[in-house]
Structure formats: C-alpha cells, structure tokens
C-alpha cells in the first residue's frame, strides 16, 4: 500500500469540501490558526497523531499554503502509546519536514519528578511534562485539537484559553470571546492554549476527514486485536495493568475512537474498516466518544474539570 502523508509539501491538495457547514468550520479554523501566527512568537501544535491533532496539522498546512507551517510540534509520550500511532507520527514528521519535540513521561519518572501511580495509568501524569516543556521551550501558544462537544467542562472552554505559569485554567478568569476577535495578550510566563476545532463535533471531524482524504493511524479502523474487558471497555493487554485476575484475553474486531495512553484508552467493537463505515457507526452509536473510551473520565463526574485546572488539555 502506498503511503500518502498529509504533510507532503508537493502533494496536490485534496478536493474542496462541499458541505457549507464544513466549509464554514474550515474557514473559522484557518482564521484562528492565522491569528496564532500573527499574535505569538513561538507557537507549537500538540501532536499525538490522534485524529484531532492530525486534523489541526492538516488545517495549518492549508492556512499557510504554499509556505511551510510556521509551528513546530510537541508530543507528550506516556511510554504507553500505541506503536502504530508513534510510527504514524514519525512518518508525518519526516515527510513534512516538521520539527517535533517529544516530552517523555518516563524521563520524569526516572529522575523522580513524577511517581508512577498504583493503577499504572499514565494519562494523568502527562500534565507535568507538558507544563515543564512549555515553560522550558518558552512556547507562548499551544495549539490543541480539543472540541467543546467532547465533555461538559470543555463546553465552556474558550478558543484562546489563558493559562497561568503553572498551566492552570481558571474558568472565572477566561476572557469573553466575541465576533471572532481573539485576544492573545499574556504576561511573561503565561501562555495561551488555542483550540481551532472548538466548534467541530466528532461527526464533523469524520466527515471532513472523508471529504479531504486525510490519513489516520490504522487503529482508528476496525481490526482484530487481543483485548480484555474492564469497566465496559475493551483494553489492550500490557505490563501496565492487565489483564488482571478474572479478566481473560479475547481476540475481537475492534477499533479505537480516540488514541491516548494504552492503559486507559479502550477500543469499541466494530467492523468499520473504512471512513464511511466509521461515520455510519458514529451516527448509530449511542455512547459519546470520551465516555466510551476513556477510563480516566469515569474517575469522577468532575474529572475533566479537575484535570483542566491542573493544566491538562
């Protein structure tokens, strides 16, 4: 199979999206990304190679065509990432001539700045390496693929979200945003998180991926995998916590709706092997994206709100 990478600079770019509402979302996201380039000195895209970050990079490429994307990439690697996703990430970076900074959670554990959690989950451990790297590299704008439809706390997130020197988010201090006027002013040490996909829904993302022919890591599409059941999710086995006693490994047709830390990202049963089938499945499904696949959001009703306050995305 020939690999066609979304960032190859000489590739004739995709055909035009024909849905008026996807076109409006695309224009809005491009406007936001150009504001970042115009207002900040050292912006970075948080790039996990998950579909939302792949989409952000794709839009950035369109925003600055035919020039290079004026942002570098940052990935917080938990050490439990899907190997397929890391390989995809590295191919994108190499083909696009992009600059990637990787912050490895393992490095923070090794030198004692972080301690492994008893449950082995590393998703919550990403915050410290993220905030440390933002401060160390002096990134002043950190672009992420989060969407307001993902979760209740995110429904109140701004497109330009001010963070203090510790990466913290105070909902009461966020600036009102009107008329597409984005205020990126910040004090030294503070930074702004920018969410160009704020107004997209999961379905919009998939419809756009289809329309633009954007490549994704293969684990987004149905494949057979050894998994075990826990808390109503299918988890991949690994040294970090599974399967436990009474949990048995089965080989099943699954796909991932989000790609995060393997220890807490669950697969859903699926036979959707292409993007159209995925879209039909999303419409049919009755479980929201994060609820179906992220164990860390089930910790408490306010789990996301708490993690955002601490500097998580």
Partner 1 sequence: MGTAVNGFINTASGAGAADGGTIGSPETGSADVDVQELAAELSHSRGLLRFATAGSVDDGKSTLVGRLLHDSKSVLSDQLDAVQRTSEAKGLETPDLSLLVDGLRAEREQGITIDVAYRYFATPSRTFILADTPGHVQYTRNTVTGASTADLVVILTDARTGVVAQTRRHAAVAALLGVPHLLLAVNKIDLVDYEQGVFDTIAAEFSAYARGLGIHEITAIPISALHGDNVVTRSERIGWYRGPSVLEHLETVRLQDESTGQSLRFPVQYVIRPRTDELPDYRGYAGRVSAGTVRPGDQVVVLPSGLRSTVTGIDTADGPRSAAVSGESVTLLLSDDVDLSRGDLIAAGGDIPEPVTEFTATITQLADRPLRAGARILLRYGATSTRALVTGLDHLLDIDSLTYRTAPQALALNDIAQLTIRTADPLPVEPYRPGGAVGSLLIIDPADGTTLAAGMVGDRLAALHPARAADSDAPAESDEEDWLS
Q: Binding of partner 1 at residue 231 (CB under 8 A)?
A: no
Among 83, 118, 178, 246, binds partner 1 (CB under 8 A): 178
Closest CB to partner 1 among 103 and 254?
A: 254
Tokens 């690697």 appear where?
77
Among 116, 213, 238, 249, binds partner 1 (CB under 8 A): 213
Q: What CA–CA distances, in Å, run from 96 to 55, 92, 179, 200, 205?
A: 14, 6, 34, 25, 22
Closest CB to partner 1 among 122 and 257?
A: 257
Closest CB to partner 1 among 122 and 290?
A: 290
- Whole-number Å distance between alpha carbons of 114 and 301: 25
User: How far does Cα 195 stand from its chain's mean position?
Assistant: 11
The DSSP result for 68-88, as a single string, is PPS-EEEEEE-S---HHHHHH
Which of the ranges 40-48, 49-57, 104-112, 218-226 carries the binding residues for partner 1, by CB under 8 A? Answer: 218-226
Min dist CB 127 to partner 1, Å, is: 18
Which of the ranges 92-100, 101-109, 256-264, 265-273 carries the binding residues for partner 1, by CB under 8 A? Answer: 265-273
Residues between 237 and 256 with contacts to partner 1, criterion CB under 8 A: 253
Q: Binding of partner 1 at residue 66 (CB under 8 A)?
A: yes
* 3-class DSSP assignment, residue 276: helix
- Whole-number Å distance between alpha carbons of 141 and 295: 29
Closest CB to partner 1 among 136 and 291?
A: 291
Min dist CB 299 to partner 1, Å, is: 13
Residues between 82 and 141 with contacts to partner 1, criterion CB under 8 A: 88
Among 177, 229, 230, 299, binds partner 1 (CB under 8 A): 177
> Whole-angstrom distance between the N-terminal and C-terminal Cα of the chain?
35
- Whole-number Å distance between alpha carbons of 100 and 91: 11
* 3-class DSSP assignment, residue 50: coil
Count of alpha carbons within 13 angstroms of residue 9, beta-carbon side = 12
Min dist CB 247 to partner 1, Å, is: 20
Min dist CB 46 to partner 1, Å, is: 21
- Whole-number Å distance between alpha carbons of 232 and 174: 36
Binding mask 16-55 for partner 1 (x = CB under 8 A): x-xxxx-xx-xxx-xx--xx-xx-----------------
């Amino acid at each position: 199979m020939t690999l066609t990478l979304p960032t190859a600079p000489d590739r004739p770019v995709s055909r035009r999206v024909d849905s008026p509402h996807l076109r409006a979302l695309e224009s809005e996201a491009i406007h936001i990304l150009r504001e970042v380039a115009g207002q900040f000195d050292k912006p970075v895209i948080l790039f996990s190679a998950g579909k939302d970050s792949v989409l952000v990079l794709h839009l950035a490429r369109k925003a600055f065509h035919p020039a290079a994307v004026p942002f570098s990439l940052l990935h917080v690697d938990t050490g439990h990432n899907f190997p397929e996703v890391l390989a995809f990430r590295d191919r994108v970076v190499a083909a696009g001539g992009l600059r990637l900074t990787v912050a490895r959670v393992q490095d923070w554990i090794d030198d004692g700045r972080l301690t492994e959690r008893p449950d082995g989950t590393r998703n919550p451990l990403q915050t410290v390496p993220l905030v440390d790297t933002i401060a160390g590299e002096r990134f002043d704008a950190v672009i992420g693929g989060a969407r307001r439809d993902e979760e209740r706390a995110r429904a109140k997130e701004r497109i330009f979200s001010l963070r203090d020197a510790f990466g913290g988010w105070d909902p009461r201090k966020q600036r009102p945003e009107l008329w597409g006027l984005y205020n990126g002013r910040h004090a030294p040490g503070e930074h702004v998180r920018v969410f160009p996909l704020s107004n997209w829904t999961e379905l919009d993302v998939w419809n756009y991926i289809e329309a633009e022919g954007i490549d994704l890591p293969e684990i987004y599409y149905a494949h057979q995998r050894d998994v075990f059941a826990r808390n109503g999710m299918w988890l991949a086995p690994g040294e970090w916590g599974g399967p436990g006693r009474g949990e048995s490994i089965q080989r099943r047709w699954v796909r991932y709706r989000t790609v995060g830390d393997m220890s807490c990202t669950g697969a859903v049963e699926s036979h959707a092997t292409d993007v159209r089938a995925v879209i039909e499945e999303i419409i049919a499904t009755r479980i929201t994206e994060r609820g179906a696949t992220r164990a860390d959001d089930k910790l408490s009703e306010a789990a996301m709100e708490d993690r955002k306050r601490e500097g998580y995305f």
